[in-house]
Structure 1
Amino acid sequence: MPVKIAFIANQFPVLSATFILNQITGLIDLGHDVRIIAYTDPQEPRVHPDIEKYNLLARTRYIPPTPKHKALCLMKALWLVISNFHKGPVELLKFIRMFILRRKGLSLSRLYLLLEFIEGDFGIVQCHYGPVGIDGVFLKDAGVKAKICTAFHGFDMSRYPLTHGRDVYDDLFKKGDLFMPISEYWKKELIDMGCPPEKTVVHRMGIDLDRFEYCEKDLDPAQPVGILTIGRLVEKKGHEFAIKAVAKLIHSGHNIEYVIAGDGPLRESLEALAAHFGISDRVVFMGPVERDEVVGLYERAHLFLLPSVTAADGDKEGIPVVLMEALAVGLPALATDHSGIREIIIDGKTGFLAPERNSDVLAERLQHLLNHPQQWPAMGRVGRKHVEDNYDIKVLNRKLESIFEELSEGH
């Protein structure tokens, strides 16, 4: 039976957040009424083709910006309550009570959010990231009847609790209906933080396998080995250690072309690092790449490299989607034993794991792969099968549909 589902997002649409987009479009394909409520439109220069294909902007409502002056906020809130009171008197009376009791975190933005749900008749509210789940619990306190589900990914389980305290989700754990970490690693951490185990289920992000055609990798001795990294140029992606490892192998005589796709604040310093090691002619900084370009990069590469690290501010990965994509096309992958990555990279079978921030071990693992190209096809086959079994978005969306249907029926 179709369910009316609201996705709450801080920003929408975000080109890199394909894992959220895939859930939205998958549930629409399965016949459900999906709406998106977002706080901001990032107005990126490029958007995913599915935004237009599914006419998702017509399904999206944006929370208006909040005035800077407190008096203006109060006047606006009063007007919104009076003009909308007939639509949801119970919910707005609860909001007024929370205001009188000076509830922490109450804001004009949350009032706008509440107004989107007063007449929405949603069965499920899907909140991606823990802080958005806190907003979802506010809706429940205000009388919204929908079930509140929260997906936990990475920064919301690492950096956010470090800066806001490990009790930051206590109220969410008490009142939320379902918690869906994307890995077993984060499930254990959630339960350690006090999340009810009986309400916690791992639900992985996935990819559309139809987009990523499997092809066994082999090597022409006359061509350089193509090593590929895809990801934003930020600290937690570990590009610094990848460049150091690649430099060590190039200086030892290996014929390598290292392609780095993505952009970010560290680009200038990473380009300077490649120059420092004298390998600027062997390292290609692609900058941001289009969706179709990404598939071509996977096809031309021989090996995939992603040495993720815990950033200085505590930020961690979830399970990077690019690792799913790389394995799906048959690329052996070298990554770090970081967060839930060992759940996708089976050490010695789909690729190799190395310790964080250790370019020497990265270089050793890479050298093994470079010296044993005959192992690539077997790793590629195991990797593809692993993704088919665990990260197929169509299978995962049907599982999510079942979870939502059962939850909305009160089971």
Structure 2
Amino acid sequence: MGRIAIVVKGYPRLSETFVAQEIRGLERRGIEVLIVSLRRPTDGAVHPIHREIEADVLYLPEYLHDDPPRVAAGRAYAQALPTYAAMHAAFETDLARDRSASRWRRLGQACVLARELPADIEHLHVHFLHTPASVTRYAAMLRGLPWSFSAHAKDIWTSPAWELRDKIAGAEWGATCTGANAAYLRSLADDPAKVELVYHGLDFSRLPAPPDRSDRDGAVRILCVGRAVEKKGIDDALRALARLPAGLDWRFEHIGGGALSERLKALAERLGIADRVAWRGALAQTDVIEAYRRADIFILPCRVTRNGDRDGLPNVLMEAQSQGLACLSTEISAVPEIIEQDRTGLMVPERRPDLLAGALERLITDAELRRRLGETASRVVRERFSTDPGLDRMAALLRHRAAVAA
């Protein structure tokens, strides 16, 4: 079989280890990949798995003014194709409902991709159903190639239903990583069987066994790993920490970059807890795993934002559970698919710092509860969320496409 082009918004990205994990897993299953990225990397570091990936990377111009000759060549190539009229009609239909600069940019990127896509590419697969899928859909129409998608979280819940419906109809098949996502996308599909539930899971061979926390004393260490963005609810975590009884001995550590970092630091100052809070910024996965192993509690108070954005099944929750941490999160999206209340963690309703504080106090003051939740979670997550079944299924779907094309 020829190569598969996997289209992503940016590569490599520290916050998207699941994408790198899938690409490397497909390579190990004998599938040759070309990575197509809509933008160049912005993170200063990479995870070890990025260094293992063998695929070439094709970077498209992020903005059309970045490389006018390249964009003009792509446009001329596309306009000369017999498929251009049908693609442009689809674009005009989309533009009538979304007259944004971004829509024009995706058209330009699609034309560049169609021109520069190597001849041995026989299928396009895209991560995220929003802008990357627009580029992929237009380029696939131009080149007469089938395409498929993996949908995750923001791309689903911040996209209008009409756009999701059209993209699902145009794709050959799609996968998504939570039951909640699958139910919604199937409700929009021309054929619900097109949308498969495929948990991306974790490669537990890369993760150590949980550490022994039985002899620890001193301050209880509370960890949060996640970008400083609204849907992670990190401000709710800070407000909950500020509500804890004065006599409790705890420390809070946050790992992750993001637009709200400075605002969150200022909030910690106003709440009077800044001396107990450490902000470590974005880190490579090896450092994140060491932080899980130092911690006693993991907190991620996810929430649905005003524009509908939300987490899917956060990898960090699974990673924390794998390291035997007692996890505290919220009852949204797919979190209940991984946390079973009072068995593998604790959950409270979103946007309730008061209830979050109560759950935190319970965990901080009860080491036996932390041990029980962490040990059960570590066992269950390894049983249910190994990456291998999902990767095997993705490889089978892509191989089936190759067999049909041959």
Q: What letter matches 2:302 in structure 1?
A: S
Give the match's secondary structure for 1:167: helix
Query: Counterparts in 2 of 1:332-347, with a 5 A limit?
Result: 332-347=326-341
Give the partner amino acid of 1:204: Y
Q: Aligned partners of 1:314, 1:127: CA distance in 2, in Å?
A: 22
Residue in 2 that maps onto 1:95: 84
1:53 to 1:180, Cα distance in 2 relative to 1, 3 A:
closer
Give unmatched runs, 5+ long, in structure 2.
94-102
Asked if the contact 1:217/1:377 (under 8 Å) is kept, the reply is no
Contact 2:114 2:143 in 1 (8 A): no
Kept in 2: contact 1:179–1:199 (CA 8 A): yes
- Structure 1 segments unaligned to the other structure (5+ residues): 86-91
1:109 aligned to 2:103?
Answer: no
Closer, same or farther in 2 for the Cα pair 1:65/1:331, shift >3 Å? closer
Whether contact under 8 Å (1:187, 1:201) holds in the other structure is: yes
Aligned partners of 2:325 and 2:370 also within 8 Å: yes
Task: Describe the superposition over 1:148-170 as per-residue Cα deviations: whole angstroms up to 9, x where unpaired.
Answer: 21111111111222xxxx21122
SS in structure 2 of the partner of residue 60 of structure 1? strand
Return the offset for 1:4.
Answer: 2.5
Is the contact made by 2:87 and 2:141 (CA closer than 8 Å) also made in structure 1?
no
| Structure 2 match to 1:255 | 249
What is residue 353 of structure 1 aligned with on the other side?
347
Match of 1:318, as an amino acid?
G
Equivalent residue of 2:239, what SS?
helix
Match of 2:29 in 1: 30
Q: Distance in 2 between matches of 1:373 and 1:74?
A: 60
* C-alpha RMSD over aligned residues: 2.7
**Post-superposition shift, 1:67?**
4.4
- Give CA deviations for 1:278-321 in whole Å, capped at 9, x if unaligned: 21111111122222211110111011000011123321111111
Counterpart CA distance in 2 for 1:380 and 1:332 is 5
Residue 343 (structure 1) shift? 0.7
Which position in structure 2 is the counterpart of 1:278? Answer: 272
The whole-number CA distance in structure 1 between the counterparts of 2:157 and 2:75 is 37
> Would the alpha carbon gap of residues 10 and 28 (structure 1) be closer, same or farther in structure 2, given more than 3 Å must change?
same
Inter-partner Cα distance in structure 2 for 1:74 and 1:42: 20
- TM-score, normalising length: structure 1: 0.87
The one-letter code matched in structure 2 to 1:291 is Q
Distance between the aligned counterparts of 2:186 and 2:112, measured in 1?
32
Does the 8 Å contact 2:182/2:196 carry over to 1? yes
Mapped partners of 2:232, 2:91: distance in 1: 41
- The residue correspondences of 1:83-162 to structure 2 (distance < 5 A) are 92-95=81-84, 98-99=87-88, 103-104=92-93, 107-117=107-117, 119-122=119-122, 124-131=123-130, 132-146=132-146, 148-161=147-160
2:229 to 234, 243, 246: 234
Provide the residue aligned with 2:98 in structure 1: none
407 and 75 in structure 1: CA distance in 2 versus 1, 3 angstrom threshold = closer
Corresponding residue of 1:89: none
Deviation track 1:184-232 (CA, whole Å, cap 9, x = no partner) reads: 0011111233452111111112222123223265455741111100111
Residue 21 of structure 1 corresponds to which residue in structure 2? Answer: 20
Q: Number of residues paired by the alignment?
A: 392
Taking structure 1 as reference, are residues 271 and 140 closer, same or farther at Cα in structure 2, changes over 3 Å only? closer
| TM-score (normalised: structure 2) | 0.88
1:406 to partner: Cα distance: 2.7
Structure 2 contact 313–334 (Cα < 8 Å) conserved: yes
Match of 1:370 among 359, 364, 368: 364
CA distance in 2, matches of 1:285, 1:385: 30
Instruction: State the match for 1:308 in structure 2.
Output: 302
2:195 paired with 1:200: yes
User: Is the CA contact (8 Å cut-off) linking 1:218 and 1:376 kept in structure 2?
Assistant: no
Q: Deviations over 1:312-356 (max 9, x none)?
A: 332111111100100111111000111111111111111011100
SS in 2 for 1:294: helix
Specify the alignment match of 2:96 in structure 1: none
C-alpha distance in 1, partners of 2:271/2:354?
Answer: 15
Q: Identity rate of aligned residues, in percent?
A: 26
Aligned match of 1:176: 171
Is the counterpart of residue 41 in structure 1 residue 30 in structure 2?
no
Correspondence for 1:325 among 307, 310, 319: 319
CA contact (8 A) 2:150 2:174 kept: yes
Call closer, same or farther: CA 1:312–1:101 in 2, change over 3 Å.
closer
Which has the higher mean CA deviation after the structures are superposed, 299-308 or 11-20? Answer: 11-20
Q: d(CA) in 2 for partners of 1:221 and 1:54?
A: 38
Q: 1:381 to 1:3 in 2, by over 3 A?
A: farther
